[in-house]
Amino acid sequence: MGAEGEKVDPVCQAGGKIILNLLLMKKLIFSLAVFVIFEGCSSVRMFADGDTGSAYDKTRGNFIELNSGEIKLAKNVVYKSPIVGKPVFVLDGGETFDAKEVIAYQVNKVYYRKYGDKYRYASRIIKGNINVFLEYVSTSEKNAGNQFYKDALYIIQKGDNGPLIALHAKALKEMVEDYKPSYDLVKGLPGYANKGKKILQAIELYNNRKM
């Protein structure tokens, strides 16, 4: 600012306002970015206590399970997904299986089960009366220069032989309706709800119940 009685150049005054507006806009963009980062992490952290190392099949080492239910044990299980050709599993000695024939597999104490199409697998992070699986799904945003992001997709399964279903309150209500303490936690949630303490607590209660 100029001294008292001194005229301020209107060009400089306008330039100062532009700079101030830019700084305020930059601060707003930064705040929004921080919000998006932490909001995006909230769903990933919902099952922070889930651990693939405690949810694997402790009765076996590495293996694949065929659609027929047959288990193939192996020291090494390698999943190959070539750019050209079909994904396959290669076991010791080169024995090969088309991925469409494999419903589940376990490698290095991480258990994976098929979800959705014939070549998608999700890792189990909670094992119990209701199993919880996690799959990271890549998405792209055109407005972000086609950059790729990974979203956490939670999947639930009642028992070890039930179908895998994307986690949302409607599906969870059906799974826990035979146990009132769990059902009461989620019965008031909208059907599309897929995160929150009530969902987590309902699953924990159901898994700790005496069957």
Domain limits, the chain = 44-56+119-211, 62-108
CB 52 within 8 A of CB 136: no
Query: Residue 9 has what pLDDT?
Result: 55
Q: 102-107 and 110-114 as β-strands: parallel, antiparallel, unpaired?
A: antiparallel
Percent of the chain with pLDDT over 70: 69
Question: What is this structure's pTM?
Answer: 0.72
169, with CB counted inside 10 A (0-12, 13-18, 19+), is buried
- Is residue 112 over pLDDT 80? yes
At 138-166, the pLDDT tens digits run 665 555 555 556 678 899 999 999 999 99
3 state SS of 72: strand
The rounded distance, in Å, linking the Cα atoms of 163 and 19 is: 58
At 56-87, the pLDDT tens digits run 999 999 999 999 999 999 999 999 988 888 99
Range in 53-57, 138-142, 186-190 the model is least confident about: 138-142
What is the phi/psi pair of residue 101, to 5°? -90, -10
Mean pLDDT of the chain: 79
The rounded distance, in Å, linking the Cα atoms of 118 and 67 is: 11
